[in-house]
Amino acid sequence: MLRASWRRGRAKLVLSIVLTLLAGVAWPMLALSLKIATNEAVAHHVWRATVAGAFVALGAVGALILLHFAYVPYTEAAELAVIDLEAELMDLANGSPGLEHHERPEYADKIAIIQRELSQLPDGFVGLFNTLSLLVSMAVTAVLLAGVNPWLLLLPVAALPPVLAAQRAQAVIERSKDASAETIRRTWHLFRLATTPASAKELRVGRLRDEIGRRYLHHWGRAGAVLWRGQRRAALINAAGQLVFALSYVTAVLVVVRQAIAGTNPIGDIVLVITLAAQVNQQISTGLNLLQQLQRIAQGFTRLRWLRTILRSQQPPAADTPVPAVLRSGIELHDVDFAYPGTDKKILDGVSLTLPAGSTVAIVGENGAGKSTMVKVLCRFYEATAGTVTVDGVDLTRYRLEDWRSRIAAGFQDFVRFELPARQSVGVGDLPRRDDDPAVRAALDRARSADVVERLPEGLDTPLGKSYREGAELSGGQWQKVALGRAMMREDPLLLILDEPTSALDAEAEHRLFEQYALNARRVGRRTGAITVLISHRFSTVRMADLIVVLDGARVAESGDHATLMAAGGLYAELYAVQAAAYQ
């Protein structure tokens, strides 16, 4: 945490530390001045007693206000640390080569907890500085107590049981948090469902409001029970630890009072010890709270470390081959198997296929046949579980992942709605040219999407989305057209993926659009050997492809061009006939 804030704002951090150290010394100095003032007053040394009294006042003022002054720079330093860590979290979540970690429930749990905890980090930072001040204060207190009677040093030692108890208590709370994380995620999901505009329509039509509310309360009830059980156990453990210290405190005060009565110590020592002992008590209870706070933060950092480790372990094998500028032969899948992480079910089973350079390939099959999965393997969001994918005869894993991705242009079924000015919402398809108006317009033309921008009040300058007051909200089809424009931004891709990118458009529009794509694809294909992979359920579109691959039960049932497959009279011909009949 300190490292993160050091990276962002050194001066603030240094100022915070200096003020915090001074604040730590102030309280024990106050007690010492009080002792001296008392002794001098008893001895009738008016002038000395007055000076000591002035120091008491100074100590009190310092102790009361220094931490407040320190608060300003260290909360700012904390904000900077949070920004740094959030940037790292965003980087980690998207920095892995594949999507594998998104499939792991424990990843989702940890990310959810880390996100929540990052927002509490400023409190943790406050805790850290209070702890620093407290440690200084405790050290000076210990020296002063030892000066009165070395046995009094046992007082801070008696603080150990409550400290250990607090650690145990916090561990109990953390376990209950982990145990309830999944249920809490469910409640968040339900809350989002009930409050986001995207689900408003279905909730009303399905009259799901009460059902969602009931489930929300039910899950909170379950999660709450686990959390409360943990909190109750933790409170009992804490109370047992505190009791040990309370007994030691009373004993310490009695010892010094006896010494003073016996005349072995000046009366000022009683004032010193009572002030310090009360302070030790205060220090311990503050310390306990701080410890819990720091432990919580430490847990957050442990989770962050876990995340770093699993994401870094996903790094791809070292690449040793540059991605070719032009595809010569094409992409081949050799006996490719694929199962999603954590599952055994083969979604691709022994798939062998050649996608020739410069061709347009359509992948068809029923819902869940594995079409999108095949595309994910081609984009290397996942690695094949068995078999290999080669590009111009070279194993795909031997290319640098970033280089391969930079030669892919893609329009996905679940496209992103980038709430940016229209220009950039399209332009980020080719990041270096995100503000290049002619390039953006050309991409929109290639995607037959120019009409969306023409209708916007400020053209390419119009911010898209509801997040802006002056932002234009688009229809589902219009958002899809923007995504298509984005997919067309890269001009020399080796692989153009169109994974049902036109599902929100009508069949006629899709047909015309794909005619244009096919034309484009052939143009780019001639230049770079690019392969266009299209997934669509509309056979009027699919039939235009050079090669049609039919997936069925995780395997390639058949492949060929439209005429060949129709003549073969297999699954394709059957599906085609069903759809053709539906349109008559």
Q: Does 195 bind ligand ATP (CB under 6 A)?
A: no
Q: Does 584 bind ligand ATP (CB under 6 A)?
A: no
Q: How many residues does the chain have?
A: 584
Measure the CA–CA gap between 461 and 466, rounded to whole angstroms. 15
Measure the CA–CA gap between 270 and 286, rounded to whole angstroms. 24
CB of 7 or CB of 102, closer to ligand ATP: 102
CB of 95 or CB of 368, closer to ligand ATP: 368
Q: Which residue has the tokens 């620093």?
A: 132
CB of 343 or CB of 584, closer to ligand ATP: 343
Min dist CB 343 to ligand ATP, Å, is 6
**Of these, 22, 113, 347, 545, which contacts ligand ATP (CB under 6 A)?**
347
**Of these, 37, 184, 272, 369, which contacts ligand ATP (CB under 6 A)?**
369
Q: Does 364 bind ligand ATP (CB under 6 A)?
A: no
CB of 271 or CB of 484, closer to ligand ATP: 484
**Sheet strands (E) in 325-459:** 330-338, 348-356, 360-364, 386-391, 394-395, 408-411
**Of these, 95, 368, 476, 569, which contacts ligand ATP (CB under 6 A)?**
368
Q: Does 367 bind ligand ATP (CB under 6 A)?
A: yes
**Of these, 79, 103, 123, 473, which contacts ligand ATP (CB under 6 A)?**
103
∠ at Cα 335 (333, 339), nearest 5°?
Answer: 95
Q: Enter the tokens of residue 575.
A: 């599906």
Q: Which stretch binds ligand ATP (CB under 6 A): 156-164, 259-267, 298-306, 370-378?
A: 370-378
Measure the CA–CA gap between 12 and 22, rounded to whole angstroms. 16
Q: Does 497 bind ligand ATP (CB under 6 A)?
A: no
CB of 98 or CB of 127, closer to ligand ATP: 98
Q: Enter the tokens of residue 224.
A: 């709450």
**Structure letter (DSSP) for residue 370:** S
Measure the CA–CA gap between 417 and 464, rounded to whole angstroms. 9
Min dist CB 535 to ligand ATP, Å, is 6
3-class secondary structure, 167: helix
CB of 340 or CB of 468, closer to ligand ATP: 340
Q: Enter the tokens of residue 576.
A: 């085609």
> Comparing C-alpha atoms, which of 204, 244, 224, 402 is closest to residue 316?
402
Q: Does 371 bind ligand ATP (CB under 6 A)?
A: yes
Min dist CB 525 to ligand ATP, Å, is 24
Q: Which stretch binds ligand ATP (CB under 6 A): 38-46, 184-192, 365-373, 402-410?
A: 365-373
Do the beta carbons of residue 418 and residue 366 sit within 8 Å?
A: no
CB atoms within 10 A of CB 197: 8
Do the beta carbons of residue 208 and residue 161 sit within 8 Å?
A: no
Q: Which residue has the tokens 């359920």?
A: 537
CB of 101 or CB of 219, closer to ligand ATP: 101
Q: Does 491 bind ligand ATP (CB under 6 A)?
A: no
Min dist CB 368 to ligand ATP, Å, is 4
Q: Which stretch binds ligand ATP (CB under 6 A): 83-91, 105-113, 180-188, 368-376?
A: 368-376
Q: Does 340 bind ligand ATP (CB under 6 A)?
A: yes
Q: Enter the tokens of residue 429.
A: 């398809």
CB of 20 or CB of 372, closer to ligand ATP: 372
Measure the CA–CA gap between 395 and 190, rounded to whole angstroms. 44
**Of these, 365, 411, 463, 501, which contacts ligand ATP (CB under 6 A)?**
365
**Of these, 131, 133, 248, 372, which contacts ligand ATP (CB under 6 A)?**
372
Min dist CB 495 to ligand ATP, Å, is 17
Sign of CA dihedral 132, 134, 137, 138: negative
As to burial, measured by CB atoms within 10 angstroms (0-12 exposed, 13-18 middle, 19+ buried), residue 181 is buried
Q: Does 553 bind ligand ATP (CB under 6 A)?
A: no
Do the beta carbons of residue 332 and residue 535 sit within 8 Å?
A: no
Q: Which stretch binds ligand ATP (CB under 6 A): 110-118, 192-200, 233-241, 360-368?
A: 360-368
Min dist CB 512 to ligand ATP, Å, is 22
- Distances from the Cα of 485 to the Cαs of 296, 447, 494, in angstroms? 46, 5, 17
Measure the CA–CA gap between 502 and 487, rounded to whole angstroms. 12
Q: Does 24 bind ligand ATP (CB under 6 A)?
A: no
Q: Does 414 bind ligand ATP (CB under 6 A)?
A: no
Q: Does 383 bind ligand ATP (CB under 6 A)?
A: no
Q: Which residues, 6+ apart, have CB-to-CB distance to 125 below 8 Å?
A: 1, 5, 74, 75, 77, 78, 81
Q: Does 541 bind ligand ATP (CB under 6 A)?
A: no
Measure the CA–CA gap between 368 and 347, rounded to whole angstroms. 9
CB of 285 or CB of 413, closer to ligand ATP: 413
Size of the site for ligand ATP (CB under 6 A): 12
CB of 295 or CB of 372, closer to ligand ATP: 372
Contacting residues toward ligand ATP, per CB under 6 A? 103, 340, 343, 347, 365, 367-373
